[in-house]
Structures are given as C-alpha cells and as structure tokens.
Amino acid sequence: MTVLADLATSTQVFETRESAVRSYCRAFPTLLTSGRGTTLVAEDGTEYTDFFSGAGALNYGHNHDHIKRQVVAHLEGDGLLHALDFHTAAKREFLGRFGQEILEPRGLRHRVQFCGSTGTDAVEAALKLARKHTGRSQVIAFSGAYHGVSRGSLAATADLSLRKVAGTALGEVTHLPFPVGPRGSFPTMDLLEQYLTDDLSGVDVPAAVILEVVQMEGGVYRIPDADLRHLRDLCDRYGIVLIADEIQAGCGRTGGFFSFEQAGVVPDLITVSKSISGLGLPMSLLLIREGFDSWEAGDHPGTFRGNQLAFVAACAALDLWRNQAFLDRARAGAELLRTFWEDHPLPGVEVRSEGHAIGIDLTHAGGRRAADDVVAHCFARGLIVESTGRDKAVLKLLPALTMEPDVLRRGCELIHEALLTALSR
C-alpha cells in the first residue's frame, strides 16, 4: 500500500511539473533507481529484466563492470570532462583504437567526425555534408525509416505522426517503399533505376540516399543484400552519396559490428551513436569515406561534440570486441533468440530475427491491441519490452548482447506466454 501511495505521489509530481512530451514513462509507470547488467531496479524494489536496452543504447547492459571501472578511474584521475573539439588524450586513444580495431579490419577507410550528443545530430551532419559535397539538395529515404526528429532528419523520417508536429513543410526528401514489407518484396531498386535514367522525369539526381540497412523503429526489416548492392551500384553510377544510418542497428546489435557488413557494401557516410559509448553516455559519430570530407573548419560546430567521458567508455567497450568470452556469449545469444522463435511459431505471426534484434509482427494477428497486451502482461511480471512499427503492432526485442542464456530464454518464454494469452482473446 505504502509503495503504491509513494508511486502515486511521485507520479503526481511528474504530472504537475513535467511537460506532456514524455512517453516511455506512461507505458512503464515505475520509478527506476538502479541498473546492473540486464536488470533494472525500481524504487519499490521490483526488478525488471531489460529487453529494451535503452532502444539500443545499452548493448552491453547497465553499468558494465569493466566499462564503469575505466570511467571511474578517469574521473578519479581528474581526466578532462569537457574540451570542445580540442585534441585530448582520451580522444586520440578512441580515434586510434576505433580506426585500428573496427574500421580497418572491415576495409573502411573513413574519417571520424564527432557530432553532438544525439544520433539526430549525426544524421543532420550526414545530410548537410552530402548536400555540400554534391551541390544538390534532393534526398531519397524509405518508408518506415526513422532518422531523428530535428527538421533535416525529420524530413527523412517517414512516420506521419512525428512529421505532422514539425509545423512546417519537410521538403526535399522523397520516400520510396522499403524493399521488403509484410506483403512481400517491392521492386524498389528497379523503380529507382528507372527514375534516375528516365530523361523525361525532369527530376534532379539526388544528393544522397539514406537508409537503415535494418530498419529498427520500422519493425526490424533488413533490406536484402542484393538490393543493397544494387543501390550501391546506382549511387556509384550517378554520383549519389550513400548514407547508412547505423545508430540503432550498429555496434553489434544486428550481427556484425555494422549491419551492412554481410552485404559486402561500403557506404560513403555512416552515422553511429547509441551503444558506441558502451554505458549509454551521449556520443555520436559521422564516418566519412575518403574523398567525401568536404567540410571546412567550423562548418558543423557544437559545444558537446566529443564527450570526454564517452571516449573513455567507448574505448573500454572496444575491449569487449577482442574478448572471446564476450564474442561467444553474443553469438550464442543471437542463436538462442533465432531458434527459440523458430521453434515457437504462432498462427499469423511473422518473426524477423537479426542478431539481438527480434521483430514479432502482430499486424495480421491482433495488431496493436495484442502488442499492447503483451507489453502490459510482461511489465506486470517484471520484463520490459516495447512495441514499434507504423501501427505499433510489432514487438521489438532488444536484449543486451551480454544477457545470460537462461535469462534470455526465460524472457522469451514469458513473451511467448503473453502472446498466447493476447492472441486467444
């Protein structure tokens, strides 16, 4: 009783003092106080298994011991916390290691630009740079895309409910159907090829094509490798900048470090954020392919470009990528997720597995109502999972790559039980 009364009092404080823009705390009415590994703890002592991971910002879980220790050592050693874009030791360490350990082994000869504290800012930078580099303004994006909510990035985001709050025209971006959808494949790349070669179209060649190789907010859809290669070829032929938005799908979430790796395609610009800093600290990067860095000094400034603490945490997170136990755990976890959902089919439900991202599509089996029921059922039993997609009818499972196999399995079992209940209604 006391706990409920306390929560009601806390909620009242929020209701009167906090702007109406909030959303996650409405879906998950609890007051969180701490997190360790893949467990969140609320003020009333309730523990939640986290199948949400800060929408992909916590691929290594909460307060990962090794990462946290490096951050604490930096603080205790009076390491810099803020330095605008001066050179610093922490930045040099990150740049050197990210280049040597992540980019070079993947054949990526990209420069790194530090952007502001959000993924959105990296997308803004990418779109601006593509326009500056080509001297053109049109951009192609895809249905179902999510690239952020500032004016430039929002123009590339497809979600109408988000776009309509812009209060102004969001021009210069054309959305094509994403090549894979619930109703089968669209010949999008053929249409794009025709659009580019048709003399009668009278439409300028675009500056850029921006895409998520695995659409995450869109409902966990991967563009087929052949379509991505076709797109790369069209961009080469017409001098179009290919931008891969890896903000949610990257940092190991969907298999390799980057989601485009398996297609053998090299994007010109790559946006990275969310889990790059390891602990959920604000950090975003734009990776710029050789020959595409048309910036001049001061072209894209920002006070919080290059968070020193995030450099330290990001280096510690890179340590995990050379730790065999971490790699084995991540590989086994992805396999467990894939086989669990293959072994537990449900009528009318499509499950899409991409590493540690699972989309359980209820569009043709109960829709949003069923998805809402599953989210509520799981929350009441101590598991946090969210729904996404155009009609919020896709459950998106994003457990940390570090989650113990038995916790992963129990979480899936609970979601499966919740689905059986929701679909029988």
Ligand X SMILES: Cc1ncc(COP(=O)(O)O)c(C=O)c1O
Pick one of 71, 90, 102, 123: the residue that binds ligand X (CB under 6 A). 123
Instruction: Report if residue 248 touches ligand X, rule: CB under 6 A.
Output: yes
Instruction: Give me Rg for the CA atoms of the chain.
Output: 22
HSE of 197, CA atoms in CB hemisphere, 13 A: 8
Q: Interacting stretch for ligand X, rule CB under 6 A, among 104-112, 113-121, 252-260, 296-304? A: 113-121
Q: Answer for the pair 241, 232: CB distance below 8 angstroms, yes or no.
A: no
> Which residue, 162, 166, 153, is CA-closest to 122?
153
User: Closest CB to ligand X among 215 and 308?
Assistant: 215
- No. of helices (H) and no. of strands (E), the chain: 14, 19
User: Closest CB to ligand X among 370 and 384?
Assistant: 384
Question: Which amino acid is it at 396?
Answer: K
Phi-psi region of 352 (alpha: psi -120 to 50; beta: other; left: phi over 0): beta
Q: Interacting stretch for ligand X, rule CB under 6 A, among 15-23, 118-126, 258-266, 376-384? A: 118-126
User: What's the CA gap between 128 and 116, in Å, rounded?
Assistant: 14
Q: Shortest Cβ contact with ligand X: which residue? A: 119
Site track 278-317 with ligand X (rule: CB under 6 A), x = hit: ----------------------------------------
Pick one of 55, 327, 346, 423: the residue that binds ligand X (CB under 6 A). 55
Q: Interacting stretch for ligand X, rule CB under 6 A, among 244-252, 261-269, 387-395, 399-407? A: 244-252
User: What's the CA gap between 273 and 281, in Å, rounded?
Assistant: 10
Instruction: Report if residue 134 touches ligand X, rule: CB under 6 A.
Output: no
> Least distance from C-beta 162 to ligand X, angstroms?
11
Coil, strand or helix at 185: strand
How many other C-beta atoms lie within 10 A of the C-beta of residue 92?
A: 11
Instruction: Report if residue 217 touches ligand X, rule: CB under 6 A.
Output: yes
Instruction: Report if residue 120 touches ligand X, rule: CB under 6 A.
Output: yes
Token pair recorded at residue 219: 């409902």
Instruction: Report if residue 218 touches ligand X, rule: CB under 6 A.
Output: no
User: What's the CA gap between 121 and 303, in Å, rounded?
Assistant: 12
**How many residues are recorded in the chain?**
425
HSE of 250, CA atoms in CB hemisphere, 13 A: 25
Token pair recorded at residue 231: 């797109």
> Least distance from C-beta 31 to ligand X, angstroms?
23
Q: Interacting stretch for ligand X, rule CB under 6 A, among 105-113, 162-170, 210-218, 252-260? A: 210-218
Pick one of 156, 207, 231, 247: the residue that binds ligand X (CB under 6 A). 247
> Least distance from C-beta 231 to ligand X, angstroms?
17
Instruction: Report if residue 212 touches ligand X, rule: CB under 6 A.
Output: yes
Q: Interacting stretch for ligand X, rule CB under 6 A, among 164-172, 211-219, 340-348, 357-365? A: 211-219
Q: Positive or negative, the Cα torsion across 257, 260, 263, 264?
A: negative
Strands 39-42 and 32-36: antiparallel
Give the total of residues touching ligand X (CB under 6 A).
Answer: 15
Q: Interacting stretch for ligand X, rule CB under 6 A, among 62-70, 241-249, 251-259, 332-340? A: 241-249
Instruction: Report if residue 147 touches ligand X, rule: CB under 6 A.
Output: yes
Instruction: Report if residue 118 touches ligand X, rule: CB under 6 A.
Output: yes
User: What's the CA gap between 111 and 131, in Å, rounded?
Assistant: 18
Instruction: Report if residue 116 touches ligand X, rule: CB under 6 A.
Output: no
The contact set with ligand X (CB under 6 A) reads 55, 118-120, 123, 146-148, 212, 216-217, 245, 247-248, 273
